[in-house]
Amino acid sequence: MNARLNLFTSPIAAKVVKHLASAGFGIPDAVLPHSTQELVKIRASQINGCGFCLDMHTKDAAAAGETALRLNLVAAWREAKVYTEAERAALELTEQGTRLADHHTGITDAAWENAAKHYDEEQLAALISLIALINAFNRLNVMSGQPAGDYVPGQFA
């Protein structure tokens, strides 16, 4: 499978990708745990059907020590016992933030209040920024038909 558009050789796309990637560097692990960041990226990518991002973030999470069990259960996080309450709150916010059109207010007050129990204001800012960024990357990759399977952990570090 070949991409419809090479995001790395197109001058415009490469510039946009570079700026999006740099925005992600504003979310350090000290503010939002790396494992939570990867779970959020994986869940949004599952919803959006972005194989390229799923390939990248599952491999990066595994390389950082995430277990296969937790990676395999992300899509069924509500039924899985392997996530903390804070991770569950982040995953719920991710789902609602990715599926904005599914609820007339976008994010429900209940989902926001639950996340606010586990994350302070800066962490919430990081979390919603991360959700917005991964959704942007998912859309770029899905629309341009980026293939999955060749990613090497840390490739874009």
Count of domains for the chain: 1
Lowest-confidence segment of 98-102, 111-115, 134-138 by average pLDDT: 98-102
8 within domain boundaries: no
Q: Is the pLDDT of residue 106 over 80?
A: yes
153 within domain boundaries: no
7 within domain boundaries: no
Both tokens of 37, joined, read 């960041």
65 within domain boundaries: yes
Query: The domain containing residue 48 runs over which residues?
Result: 36-140
Q: Provide the terminal-to-terminal Cα distance of the chain, rounded to the nearest Å.
A: 25
Q: CA–CA separation, 124 vs 92, rounded Å?
A: 13
Provide mean pLDDT across the span 38-61.
98
Given pLDDT bands bounded at 50, 70 and 90, which one contains residue 30?
confident
Q: Is the pLDDT of residue 104 over 90?
A: no
107 within domain boundaries: yes
pTM for the full model? Answer: 0.95
Q: Which residues contact 141 (CB under 8 A, 6 or more apart)?
A: 7, 50, 51, 52, 53
43 within domain boundaries: yes
Domain CATH number, residue 104 = 1.20.1290.10
2 within domain boundaries: no
